[in-house]
Amino acid sequence: MMSSRFWKKRKKPERKGGHKLKKIMNEPGNIVEEMLEGLVKSYPELIHRVDDSRVVAKNQQAEQVGLVSGGGSGHEPAHAGFVGDGMLSAAVLGDVFTSPTPDQVQLAIKEADRGKGVLLIIKNYTGDVLNFDMAKEMAAMEDIEVESVLVDDDIAVEDSTYTAGKRGVAGTVLVHKILGDAARSGASLTELKELGEKVVQATKTIGVALRAATVPEVGKPGFELGEDEIEYGVGIHGEPGYRRESLQSSRVLAQELVTKLLDAYSEVPKEVGVLSQWDGRNAFNGTIRVHERRVSFDGRKRGQCNFQKSRKLHDLARYAGCIFNTDRSCRNEVERSIGK
């Protein structure tokens, strides 16, 4: 047993650079390559890496319209983690927060093509739009029919950094799953494009940041937020939001976010689904689920009280399992929320 004198001599360690995020990795410049290798080796029976490219594709490609999505790395499990039955045929990854190149996107299109055409699901960022559109033109020269759906679900700001118009963020996952199941069920390229545009139109998202993301090769946060500050509407790459203020209670946050979401619809929605998600980088401990449930509860109360804007507010959290599995019946539940 240690003596009490030992404890008296110990000093509390100083905490320096409190905002710096610890990351477990090897060389920052190799992080995307190692992540891809690790993903493919973990699920060799389901997916493969196309040659030495940044393209991940399904092993079993069915005779259906191919679905391709992608973008910069750093948003995992998007997009390689969404390749599989009932979701994407292939995904293409760029460097962290950097769009993949047109030739990499073209390779993903060719890998996904089974003679019925390929649909590109593109988040609305300038680099992604330009490179995916160029790849679409390149594929057309090889007689591959390609259409696209542009996801711009983030209602926080318009014409932000890297974006003309609204940004494409978390709503992209809903597009992946709903269109993935429709493609598996035999929908045509035209039908998938029409359904995708309807899903995008019905999907509204907004976020609030407690802390900035840290790009591995940069090694420091993309912007500074005080310990007692939050910022509404920050983009997934750290793009500026629309307001910064002191940390608020979950009730105040829910009222701000849900009110803005409901106001974003041009017509009063009969039913609204709400899915809340807290990033572990902001609260990597056992309280994360408590935060999420608390905000979901306050958001649900806010929606039910606002009868003039929404007759009924559902908690889409109970559908979260549907979004990420292959149960075809789940698609009906989600589509019912968007009024299909």
Three-state DSSP class for residue 313? strand
In b/e form, how buried is each residue of 100-124, taking b as 16+ CB within 10 angstroms?
bbbebbbbbbbbbbeebbbbbbbbb
**CA angle (183, 184, 187) in 5-degree steps:** 40
Phi, psi of 243 (to 5 degrees): -165, 140
**237 flagged as catalytic:** yes
Where is 312: in which H helix or E strand?
strand 312-315
**79 flagged as catalytic:** no
Q: What distances in angstroms separate CA 330 from CA 16, 31, 254, 318, 320, one per listed residue?
A: 48, 35, 27, 11, 10
Beta-carbon contacts of residue 262 (< 8 Å; ≥ 6 apart): 269, 272, 303, 306, 309, 310
Q: What distances in angstroms separate CA 202 from CA 77, 147, 198, 232, 301, one per listed residue?
A: 23, 20, 6, 21, 21
Question: Which region, left, alpha or beta, applies to residue 138 given φ > 0 means left and ψ of -120 to 50 means alpha?
Answer: alpha
Q: For residues 87 and 67, is the Cβ–Cβ distance under 8 A?
A: yes
**Which of 53, 161, 178 has the alpha carbon at shortest distance from 109?**
53
Neighbours of 192 (CB within 10 A): 23
Residue from 75, 79, 176, 314 carrying the catalytic annotation: 75
Residue from 48, 79, 176, 237 carrying the catalytic annotation: 237
User: How far apart are the C-alpha atoms of 312 and 109, rounded to whole Å?
Assistant: 41
The encoded tokens of residue 205 equal 């998202």
Q: Any idea which residues carry the catalytic annotation? A: 75, 237
